[in-house]
């Protein structure tokens, strides 16, 4: 019976609370209204304020020693390394720093920056002759990027030129943005100076626009070829023109690449060219790019070069005086015995060859001086031009 009494009492208490009446044994000030206010305050504290300047921050209420603390949005950003500010480049932290650590910094290739500086100077002159206008080319920055990330970041519409580095047996990518495309078309077709190029959005590039931009791309590739010339001979040939980045895939998305951003200004018109070279393309000349810049001769030390040339003249080498060459089958040579005679096709007055290793350097006459066999040089096989150069270097 006591169990039934307890059940009836509990049901009566619940009905009282549901009807908004205070529970038995208490007044209205400490009844259901107070519990509802406390319950609402607790939920409000958990949800937090939505009026804040940043995102919504959620803090856990400390309900006991076993409660766990929930990170707010700022702490999550710091952990991931995304603080939302684009100004502090190179100061990555957290998970972002771990991800970006897989990229190879272009600063490990000091000669590459010198090559691109030469490219900027050459392009300034070449594009002035190409457009007959006042053109200024500047180098915005050189950075390392993954190829897949670069393709996803290309602002469309744009023209992508896939070119081949013949001696390096690989490809590169040159991107021309829409601002520069319309500016070049406007300049080459006689647009008035002082007026910005008119952009027509929502349509593909016409054949005339593609052909004019292709001519400019060939000029840039020729300048890039000349910029690499003091370092190594590389021929850049245009392979194809694309407008969709998916069709310009020349490397795997995870592969690292060098990205060079060039700014081209023509008075109040202009745009940007981006030159991208995968690290696999630069790998054959990596040792050359690791050289330290030592002046305009790209890593050559003139003092050491002169010292080496002067010391070569005092180098001791072995030369041989060859009377004649005798050719015979291997079976004949293997059957030679002591006392056999080999007939040579020379006479006492015939010229003999003086050789250094297998390289003939002069012809001479054989004779005798005292108790020694001697030769007298009758003709040098070194050309006069080479001999003059060697003499000038010696001085």
198-238 pLDDT, tens digit each: 565 667 888 888 899 999 999 999 999 999 988 888 899 99
Q: Are the CB atoms for 113 and 142 separated by under 8 Å?
A: yes
Distance CA 242, CA 245 (A): 7
Distance CA 210, CA 372 (A): 79
User: Given a cut of 60, is residue 164 above it in pLDDT?
Assistant: yes
Q: Which tokens in the block code for residue 75?
A: 């702490």
User: Given a cut of 80, is residue 86 above it in pLDDT?
Assistant: no
Quick one: pLDDT at residue 179? 87
190: left (phi over 0), alpha (psi -120 to 50) or beta: left
Quick one: pLDDT at residue 361? 83
Quick one: pLDDT at residue 120? 92
User: Given a cut of 60, is residue 197 above it in pLDDT?
Assistant: no
Burial 354-391 (b: 16+ CB within 10 A, else e): bbeeeeeebbbebeeeeeeeebeeeeeeeeeeeeeeee
What 3-state class would DSSP assign to 314? Answer: coil
User: Given a cut of 70, is residue 383 above it in pLDDT?
Assistant: no
pLDDT class of 267 with cuts at 50, 70, 90:
confident
**Residue length of the chain:** 395
Distance CA 299, CA 283 (A): 18
User: Given a cut of 70, is residue 268 above it in pLDDT?
Assistant: yes
pLDDT class of 14 with cuts at 50, 70, 90:
low
Q: Which tokens in the block code for residue 379?
A: 């003709």
139-156 pLDDT, tens digit each: 888 888 888 888 888 888
- Residue 106 exposure: Cα atoms within 13 Å on the Cβ side: 23
User: Given a cut of 70, is residue 294 above it in pLDDT?
Assistant: no
Residue 302 CA, distance from chain mean position: 30
Q: Other CB atoms closer than 10 Å to residue 291's CB: what's the count? A: 15
Distance CA 206, CA 226 (A): 31
Write down all domains in the chain, each with its CATH number in brackets: 48-86+93-101 (no CATH), 106-289 (3.40.1550.10), 302-394 (2.30.330.10)
Q: Are the CB atoms for 112 and 258 separated by under 8 Å?
A: yes
User: Given a cut of 60, is residue 88 above it in pLDDT?
Assistant: no
Quick one: pLDDT at residue 305? 77
Quick one: pLDDT at residue 132? 84
Residue range 302-329: mean pLDDT, rounded: 81
Quick one: pLDDT at residue 110? 79
pLDDT class of 62 with cuts at 50, 70, 90:
very low
User: Given a cut of 60, is residue 69 above it in pLDDT?
Assistant: yes
Quick one: pLDDT at residue 23? 45
Backbone torsions φ then ψ of 162, nearest 5 degrees? -90, 120
């Amino acid at each position: 019976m006591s169990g039934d009494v307890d059940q009836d009492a509990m049901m009566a208490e619940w009905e009282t609370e549901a009807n908004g009446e205070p529970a038995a044994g208490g007044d209205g000030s400490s009844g259901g209204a107070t519990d509802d206010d406390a319950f609402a305050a607790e939920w409000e504290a958990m949800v937090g304020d939505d009026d804040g300047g940043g995102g919504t921050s959620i803090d856990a209420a400390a309900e006991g020693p076993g409660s766990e603390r929930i990170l707010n949005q700022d702490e999550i950003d710091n952990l991931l390394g995304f603080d939302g500010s684009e100004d502090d480049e190179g100061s990555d932290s957290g998970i972002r720093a771990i991800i970006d650590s897989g990229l190879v910094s272009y600063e490990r290739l000091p000669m590459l920056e010198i090559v691109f500086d030469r490219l900027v100077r050459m392009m300034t002159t070449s594009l002035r002759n190409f457009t007959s206008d006042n053109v200024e080319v500047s180098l915005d920055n050189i950075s390392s990027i993954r190829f897949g990330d670069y393709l996803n970041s290309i602002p469309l519409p744009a023209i992508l030129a896939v070119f081949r580095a013949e001696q390096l047996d690989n490809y590169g990518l040159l991107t021309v943005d829409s601002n520069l495309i319309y500016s070049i078309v406007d300049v080459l077709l006689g647009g008035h100076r002082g007026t910005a190029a008119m952009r027509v959005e929502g349509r593909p590039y016409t054949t005339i626009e593609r052909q004019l931009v292709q001519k400019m791309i060939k000029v840039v590739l020729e300048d890039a070829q000349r910029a690499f010339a003091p370092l190594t001979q590389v021929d850049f040939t245009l392979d194809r023109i694309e407008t969709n980045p998916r069709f310009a895939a020349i490397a795997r998305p995870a592969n690292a690449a060098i990205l060079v951003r060039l700014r081209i200004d023509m008075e109040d018109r202009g745009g940007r060219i981006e030159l991208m070279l995968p690290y696999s393309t630069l790998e054959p000349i990596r040792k050359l790019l690791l050289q330290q810049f030592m002046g305009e001769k790209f890593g050559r030390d003139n003092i050491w070069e002169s010292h080496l040339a002067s010391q070569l003249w005092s180098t001791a080498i072995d030369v041989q005086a060859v009377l004649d060459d005798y050719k015979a089958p291997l079976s004949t040579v293997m059957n030679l015995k002591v006392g056999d005679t080999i007939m040579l096709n020379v006479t006492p007055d015939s010229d003999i060859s003086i050789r250094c290793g297998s390289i003939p350097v002069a012809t001479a006459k054989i004779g005798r001086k005292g108790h020694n066999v001697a030769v007298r040089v009758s003709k040098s096989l070194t050309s006069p031009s080479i001999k003059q150069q060697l003499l000038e270097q010696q001085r």
